[in-house]
């Protein structure tokens, strides 16, 4: 079976932005203009295609990233005929698009999407310009090296300003953002855009702006258009020596040559073209799609994906090529209302067919791959075979989790894992009845599998179940989903900060656990050394005697069989369990390197359980002497309010152990930036509202964990008792 689309005519891209910038509204237009849907649904009526979850439709926000496939024939190809006299669709491109949420609590969706996408369209609210989540998502895209186009949306809104928004991109995101268009008219009068490359004006008419009308640039805009065109060309040719030389020689660059040079520059993250319009008023979206075709990379433009050969530990690479060994990354699990469990994966190399077995190199297990589907709006299209560079979803896989690698069993590779943030907030959850109790475990496990930033733990002493996540809204949605999708009724406690514990010093401890009880006794003896964990040196291979986790490292330095090899995993397990229990106030210990340096054994009495207990006791004893401290999440806070409330707002932040970092004008308001401990911030939005007569708003995002002051530590420990 052949692939239906050549790699160079595929674009995998995401739509990312701050909350409410218009990503879903834009995605819905894309589905309409590409003919995937015949009626546009709006966010405010809860009828869009990509916001399909009940909670999304009710609240008008995106919660989970939705992947959709569609096909686009660039507008500049329209009306062209091929050699046979038929419509020329030689440039038609397949889009795999992911509409992501903007709310910080669901930021995991942006992170994992960017990992498997080749490009992104970053949407901005034309009134607000760059907002906190625009910055965060831009940073994620930087980390993932994803080329970007910018779309300044909502130009129809009162107070919209293309120039101000563009300036905020230059100042806060990247100075290589370049105007490729200008809006025609703003606010209620906004109705078209000027394309600076073609030097034409475009307006949109017909049903939902489906017809694109080209005309001359309005006379009063010509001057600006010429100026900004020159600026655009100069910025772009600067990235290419040959083009620069021609430019200096005074030669006019052709549209095609400009596109070629620009494409290279965008893919190299040297240029970020800026477009504009209004998704809601159907202005400009089609031209952004043309730009996706012209400037964003196909899988062929991306560097080979790197991974580790699990047999040798050596770094190996796979190219976007159907003839290479199969490799793919699972990036998202979703319980689909129509077909059940879906595992989304991106194929990096080779191909895979439905009805065969898929090898998971992360678990070392094989599973039958029954069906593969691609999501096209609300249809699920069955596909027989998936090729390099494609994104699809497997139906019904049981063992695969986010970040797992699928590959050719004969030519194994493990791709780099997606790094997720740690949950900062948690609450106690209690099933209402015995029947709920049984269902709750299963429901929480499923939800946790879908979302790596949602964690479930149980306190063995109290029997309590604790769920943790990224914020109050995150946990609220999860509890709501548990009720509706799994019909589990539960009582929930108040949200609490997810504290952690760690050590600042180094210590050693030894424990000999011996029990003589008539028959076979117990014997386990270990000596441990612990210290704060430093990052593993980049590029250095992890030796066999080291288990390296994100926040814990275990080194087995036993030589000469002082402890038989079969008991070492029990020692590690004992340490793990002790870490989960914490040392000061029962919060999980993190960032510790633990070295097993010495021990002994007994021919008859040694057992796994004895080593586990000995290790737990020794580890806790060592922690007590290694300057243990409690860590708390510190949040990055932005408060936007009229200037006259500045004094009150700053006062309130300071009284919450906050650190003011600065302020800047933002439209008619002032934006105040600060770092504040999360524990002080519950209910802050309400306080702020009353402090500013409803005119202030706050945005918060996790920044880092920091040691709590001694007096606060005492308070936390007291409370725990």
Ligand X SMILES: Nc1nc2c(ncn2[C@@H]2O[C@H](COP(=O)(O)OP(=O)(O)OP(=O)(O)O)[C@@H](O)[C@H]2O)c(=O)[nH]1
- List contacts with ligand X (CB under 6 A): 17, 19-25, 42-44, 61-62, 101-103, 153-154, 156-157, 278-281
Binding site partner of 107, from ligand X, Mg ion, none, Cβ cut-off 5-8 A by kind: none
Q: Provide the minimum distance between the beta carbon of 24 and Mg ion in the complex, in angstroms, as a whole number.
A: 3
Q: Write the CB contacts of 621 (distance below 8 Å, at least 6 apart in sequence).
A: 509, 511
Q: How far is the CB of 23 from Mg ion (least distance, A)?
A: 5
Question: Among all residues, whose Cβ is closest to ligand X?
Answer: 102
Report helix, strand or coil for 465: strand
Q: Please say which residue, 44 or 515, places its beta carbon nearer to Mg ion.
A: 44
Binding partner selected for residue 21 from Mg ion, ligand X, none, CB under the kind-specific 5 to 8 Å limit: ligand X
Q: Which is nearer to Mg ion, 24 or 165 (CB)?
A: 24
Would you state the torsion angle of the CA atoms of residues 256, 260, 261, 264, taken in this order, to the nearest 10 degrees?
A: 160
Minimum CB distance to ligand X smaller for 57 or for 167: 57
- Which of Mg ion, ligand X, none sits in contact with 157, Cβ below 5 to 8 A by type? ligand X
> Is residue 44 helix, strand or coil?
helix
17 binds, among ligand X, Mg ion, none (CB under 5 to 8 A by kind): ligand X
* Residue count of the chain: 721
User: CB of residue 461 vs ligand X: minimum separation in angstroms?
Assistant: 40
Which secondary structure element, helix H or strand E, spans residue 502, and what is its range?
strand 500-503
Cα distance between residue 451 and residue 445, in whole Å? 10
User: Of 24 and 343, which CB lies nearer to Mg ion in the complex structure?
Assistant: 24
User: What residues contact residue 305 under an 8 Å CB cut-off, 6+ apart?
Assistant: 317, 318, 327, 348, 349, 415
Q: At 2, phi and psi to the nearest 5?
A: -90, 155
Coil/strand/helix, residue 291? helix
The answer to whether 688 touches 649, Cβ cutoff 8 Å, is yes
Return phi, psi of residue 346, to 5°: -110, 125
635 binds, among ligand X, Mg ion, none (CB under 5 to 8 A by kind): none
Q: By C-beta, is 23 or 553 nearer to Mg ion?
A: 23
Task: Decide: is 616 part of the binding site for Mg ion (CB under 5 A).
Answer: no
Question: With respect to ligand X, which residue has the nearer C-beta, 451 or 593?
Answer: 451
Residue window 39-78: x/- pattern of binding to Mg ion, with contact defined by CB under 5 A:
-----------------------x----------------
- Nearest-approach distance from CB 142 to ligand X, in angstroms: 20
280, interface contact from Mg ion, ligand X, none, CB < 5-8 Å by kind? ligand X
From the list ligand X, Mg ion, none, partner contacted by residue 332 (C-beta under 5 to 8 A by kind): none
156 binds, among ligand X, Mg ion, none (CB under 5 to 8 A by kind): ligand X
Provide the phi-psi class of 633: left if phi over 0, else alpha when psi is between -120 and 50, else beta: beta
Residue closer to ligand X, measured from CB, 54 or 408: 54
Burial 393-412 (b: 16+ CB within 10 A, else e): bbbebeebbbbbbbbbeebb
CB 257 within 8 A of CB 2: no
Least distance from ligand X to the Cβ atom of residue 306, Å: 32
The secondary structure of 116-149 as a DSSP string is H-SEEEEEEETTTBS-HHHHHHHHHHHHTT--EE
Closest by CA position to 569, among listed 605, 603, 524? 524
Q: Is the Cβ of residue 160 or residue 262 nearer to ligand X in the bound state? A: 160
Beta carbon nearer to ligand X, 17 or 637: 17
Residue 298 contact, options ligand X, Mg ion, none, Cβ 5-8 Å cut-off depending on partner type: none
In the complex with ligand X, the residue whose CB is nearer, 139 or 704, is 139
- Kindly give the residue spans of alpha helices, DSSP state H, lying in 51-131: 54-59, 107-116
Stretch that binds Mg ion, among 20-28, 64-72, 560-568, 678-686 (CB under 5 A): 20-28
Phi, psi of 94 (to 5 degrees): -90, 125
Contact range with Mg ion by CB under 5 A, out of 18-26, 199-207, 269-277, 635-643: 18-26
CA distance 194 to 676: 44
Which residues have C-beta within 8 Å of that of residue 694, sequence separation ≥ 6? none
Contact 157, 187 (CB under 8 A): yes
- Identify which of residues 279 and 429 has a Cβ nearer to ligand X in the complex: 279
**515: partner contacted, choices ligand X, Mg ion, none (Cβ within 5-8 A by kind):** none
Q: Which does 154 bind (CB under 5 to 8 A by kind): Mg ion, ligand X, none?
A: ligand X
CB under 5 to 8 A by kind: which of Mg ion, ligand X, none does 576 bind?
A: none
Residue 448 interacts, among ligand X, Mg ion, none and using kind-specific CB cut-offs from 5 to 8 Å, with none
- The nearest distance, CB 261 to ligand X, in angstroms, is 31
String of contacts with Mg ion for each residue 470-509, x by CB under 5 A: ----------------------------------------
Shortest Å, Cβ 127 to Mg ion: 17
Q: How far is the CB of 107 from Mg ion (least distance, A)?
A: 13
Among 10, 19, 24, 236, binds Mg ion (CB under 5 A): 24
- The listed partner (ligand X, Mg ion, none) that binds 229, CB under 5 to 8 Å by sort, is none
- Work out the end-to-end distance of the chain between its first and last CA atoms, rounded to an integer number of angstroms: 66
Torsion angles phi and psi, residue 47, rounded to 5: -130, 15
Of the candidates 263, 186, 190, 182, the residue with the CA atom closest to the CA atom of residue 224: 182
Nearer to ligand X, 21 or 634 (CB): 21
Provide the minimum distance between the beta carbon of 155 and ligand X in the complex, in angstroms, as a whole number: 7
Q: Which of 11, 18, 23, 525 binds Mg ion (CB under 5 A)?
A: 23
Reported in sequence order, the residue ranges of 351-417 that DSSP labels E, i.e. its strands, are: 352-353, 356-360, 365-369, 371-376, 379-383, 385-386, 391-395, 405-407, 414-415
**Nearest-angstrom CA–CA distance, 621 and 151:** 57
Our CB check for Mg ion shows the closer of 43 and 424 to be 43
Q: Distance between CA atoms of 62 and 51, rounded to whole angstroms?
A: 6
The answer to whether the CB of 296 falls within 8 A of the CB of 266 is: yes
Q: Measured between alpha carbons, how far is 356 from 329 in angstroms, rounded to an integer?
A: 17
Closest to Mg ion by CB, 23 or 115: 23
Residues of this chain that bind Mg ion (CB under 5 A): 23-24, 62
């Amino acid at each position: 079976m052949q692939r239906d689309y050549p790699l160079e005519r595929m674009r995998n891209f995401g739509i990312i932005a701050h909350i409410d910038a218009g990503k879903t509204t834009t995605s819905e237009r894309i589905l309409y203009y590409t003919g995937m849907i015949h009626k546009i649904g709006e966010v405010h009526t809860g009828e869009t295609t990509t916001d399909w979850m009940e909670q999304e439709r009710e609240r008008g926000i995106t919660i989970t990233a939705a992947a959709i496939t569609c096909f686009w024939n660039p507008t500049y190809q329209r009306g062209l005929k091929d050699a046979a006299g038929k419509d020329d669709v030689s440039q038609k491109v397949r889009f795999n698009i992911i509409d992501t949420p903007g709310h910080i609590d669901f930021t995991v969706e942006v992170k994992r999407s960017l990992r498997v996408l080749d490009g992104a369209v970053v949407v901005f609210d034309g009134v607000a310009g760059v907002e906190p989540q625009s910055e965060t998502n831009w940073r994620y895209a930087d980390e993932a090296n994803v080329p970007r186009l910018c779309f300044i949306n909502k130009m129809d809104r009162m107070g919209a300003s293309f120039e101000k928004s563009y300036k905020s991109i230059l100042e806060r995101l990247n100075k290589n953002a370049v105007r490729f268009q200008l809006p025609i008219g703003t606010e209620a009068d906004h109705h078209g855009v000027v394309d600076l490359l073609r030097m034409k004006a475009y307006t949109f008419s017909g049903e939902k702006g489906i017809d694109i009308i080209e005309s001359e640039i309005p006379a009063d805009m010509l001057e600006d258009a010429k100026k900004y065109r020159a600026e655009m060309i100069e910025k772009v040719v600067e990235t290419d020596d040959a083009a620069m030389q021609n430019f200096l020689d005074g030669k006019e660059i052709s549209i095609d040559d400009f596109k070629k040079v620009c494409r290279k520059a965008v893919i190299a993250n040297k240029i970020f073209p800026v477009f504009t319009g209004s998704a809601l008023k159907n202005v400009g979206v089609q031209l952004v799609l043309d730009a996706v075709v012209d400037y964003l990379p196909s899988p062929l433009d991306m560097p080979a994906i790197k991974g580790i050969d699990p047999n040798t530990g050596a770094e190996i690479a796979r190219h976007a090529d159907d003839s290479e060994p199969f490799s793919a990354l699972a990036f998202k699990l979703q319980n689909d209302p129509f077909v059940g469990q879906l595992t989304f994966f991106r194929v990096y190399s080779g191909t895979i067919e439905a009805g065969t077995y898929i090898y998971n190199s992360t678990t070392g297990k094989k599973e039958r791959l029954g069906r593969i589907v691609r999501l096209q709006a609300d249809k699920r299209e069955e596909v027989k075979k998936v090729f390099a560079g494609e994104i699809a979803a497997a139906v019904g896989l049981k063992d695969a989790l986010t970040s797992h690698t699928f590959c050719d069993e004969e030519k194994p590779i493990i791709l780099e894992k997606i790094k997720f943030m740690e949950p900062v907030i948690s609450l106690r959850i209690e099933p209402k009845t015995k029947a709920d109790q049984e269902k709750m475990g299963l429901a929480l496990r499923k939800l946790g599998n879908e979302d790596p930033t949602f964690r479930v733990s149980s306190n063995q002493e109290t029997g309590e179940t604790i769920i943790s996540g990224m914020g109050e809204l995150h946990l609220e949605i999860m509890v709501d989903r548990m009720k509706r999708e799994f019909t589990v009724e539960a009582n929930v406690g108040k949200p609490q900060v997810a504290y952690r514990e760690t050590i600042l010093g180094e210590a050693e401890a030894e424990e000999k656990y011996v029990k003589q009880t008539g028959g076979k006794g117990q014997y386990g003896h270990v000596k441990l050394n612990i210290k704060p964990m430093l990052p593993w040196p980049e590029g250095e291979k992890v030796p066999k005697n080291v288990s390296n986790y994100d926040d814990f490292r275990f080194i087995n330095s036993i030589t000469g069989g002082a402890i038989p090899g079969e008991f070492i995993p029990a020692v590690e397990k004992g340490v793990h369990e002790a870490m989960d229990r914490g040392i000061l106030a029962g919060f999980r210990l993190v960032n510790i390197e633990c070295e097993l340096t010495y021990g002994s054994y007994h021919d008859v009495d040694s057992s796994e359980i004895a080593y586990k207990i000995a290790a737990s006791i020794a580890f806790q004893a060592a922690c007590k002497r290694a300057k243990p401290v409690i860590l708390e999440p510190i949040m990055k806070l932005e408060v936007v309010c009229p200037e006259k409330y500045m004094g009150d707002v700053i006062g309130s932040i300071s009284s919450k152990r906050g650190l003011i970092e600065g302020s800047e004008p933002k439209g008619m308001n002032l934006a105040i930036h600060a770092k504040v401990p999360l524990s002080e911030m519950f209910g802050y939005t309400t306080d702020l509202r009353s402090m500013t007569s409803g005119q202030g708003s706050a945005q918060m995002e996790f920044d880092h964990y920091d040691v709590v002051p001694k007096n606060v530590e005492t308070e936390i420990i007291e409370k725990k008792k």
